[in-house]
Amino acid sequence: ELKVEQNPLFLSMQEGKNYTIYCNYSTTSDRLYWYRQDPGKSLESLFVLLSNGAVKQEGRLMASLDTKARLSTLHITAAVHDLSATYFCAVVPDSGYALNFGKGTSLLVTP
Amino acid sequence: AAGVIQSPRHLIKEKRETATLKCYPIPRHDTVYWYQQGPGQDPQFLISFYEKMQSDKGSIPDRFSAQQFSDYHSELNMSSLELGDSALYFCASSSLMNTEAFFGQGTRLTVV
């Protein structure tokens, strides 16, 4: 059974600070996704990482993938309140087609 | 750009009733996925279709069924509804040639 583990599950951080969210998965895969979800809303695609060593950046967020370690990170730089949301990583295993989600990291950025 | 359309957006049903959720994928997308997200939970994969055939199956209860039609829209049929079926139901679509799945706005089902 594929396991996708995120940590931390809850994160409260001050504006201007940096932090990293980690996503570990238990099966071979070279397709990892990060989504953002605001309360009661849909899942917004942030990053698609398709190869070992992939790094993508958008604004204050940067995501990376290490397929050998089965680890992805989402780094937040100089957090702002607008980044408050739940962030999910999701993995498509080599043997399947569907996204398997982690439990999500609920991020709260405070002044 | 066209997005994934789900209907209805909200649905209230009583226990033991049936419900049908509809999903219209992005044009030229041939794959549809259904997910269930309970309050405070991560999305759970239910079922997917590629070119109108079931391609993958997750934790879909036997009371639920789904299909993809010739125009690529999909319907999730839910029978003998239980209180625990109350959740957000998301549909996502992708093109097999594209690696990214795009999600609809979801249908919030409340069973009372």
- The pLDDT value given to residue B98: 62
Task: Residue A11: name the closest of A64, A72, A75, A99 by CA.
Answer: A75
Backbone torsions φ then ψ of A19, nearest 5 degrees: -160, 160
Per-residue pLDDT of chain B (112 residues; tens, 9 = 90+): 689 999 999 999 999 999 999 999 999 999 999 999 999 999 999 999 999 999 989 999 999 999 999 999 999 999 999 999 999 999 999 987 567 899 999 999 999 9
Interface test with chain B among A97, A100, A103, A105, by most B beta carbons within 10 Å: A97
Residues 21-60 of chain A with CB under 8 A from chain B are: 31, 33, 35, 40-45, 48, 50
- Does A9 reach chain B within 8 Å, measured CB to CB? no
Which positions in chain B touch A51 (Cβ < 8 Å)?
none
For the record, the structure tokens of A75 come out as: 């780094």
- Alpha carbons B68 and B51: distance in angstroms, whole number: 8
Backbone torsions φ then ψ of A62, nearest 5 degrees: -135, 130
What digits encode the pLDDT tens for the residues A12-68? 999 999 999 999 999 888 789 999 999 999 999 999 998 888 999 999 999 999 999
For the record, the structure tokens of A24 come out as: 């570990």
Which positions in chain A touch B51 (Cβ < 8 Å)?
none
Task: Residue A110: name the closest of A15, A37, A39 by CA.
Answer: A15
pLDDT higher than threshold 70 for residue A89: yes
DSSP-derived pairing of the beta strands A55-58 and A61-66: antiparallel
Contacts with B62 (C-beta within 8 Å, 6 or more apart), sequence order: none
- Alpha carbons A81 and A16: distance in angstroms, whole number: 10
DSSP-derived pairing of the beta strands B64-68 and A43-49: unpaired
Contacts with B111 (C-beta within 8 Å, 6 or more apart), sequence order: B12, B13, B14, B15, B17, B81, B82, B83, B84, B85, B86
Position A93 confidence tier, pLDDT thresholds 50, 70, 90:
confident
- Alpha carbons B91 and B103: distance in angstroms, whole number: 6
